[in-house]
Amino acid sequence: GESVGLHLPTLSVQEGDNSIINCAYSNSASDYFIWYKQESGKGPQFIIDIRSNMDKRQGQRVTVLLNKTVKHLSLQIAATQPGDSAVYFCAENVSFSGGYNKLIFGAGTRLAVHP
């Protein structure tokens, strides 16, 4: 199940199940979105991205869905494995003049995979 509180929201799943991690973003002008995975003691690692002209993109075992109407992003992981246990962040890209951009990160969701 999923819990939200003072600690990082945690999603607990059984190995082999599918996982869905949700994210709400804030800026209607955001044109590019990225999901990152952060393992303990490591930096955020790129998983998959999606541009605002798309509503779905698939990678290997992962799918990102984008709903611009409600400013919602989700990451689906198929057949979740113990190695998927990590903190997952969504990030929205905000572009500004000069071709520059910055990423605004969501709060993160901890995925705990149980055997």
Amino acid, res. 29: A
Q: Is 2 helix (H, G, I), strand (E, B) or coil?
A: strand
Nearer to another protein, 13 or 37 (CB): 37
Told to check if 42 binds another protein by CB under 8 A, we report yes
CB of 16 to another protein, least distance (A): 27
Please give the full DSSP string across 6-45, using - where no structure is assigned.
SSPPEEEEETTS-EEEEEE---TT--EEEEEEE-TTS--E
Binding interface with another protein (CB under 8 A):
8, 31-32, 34, 36, 38, 41-46, 49, 51, 87, 89, 93, 95, 98-105, 107-108
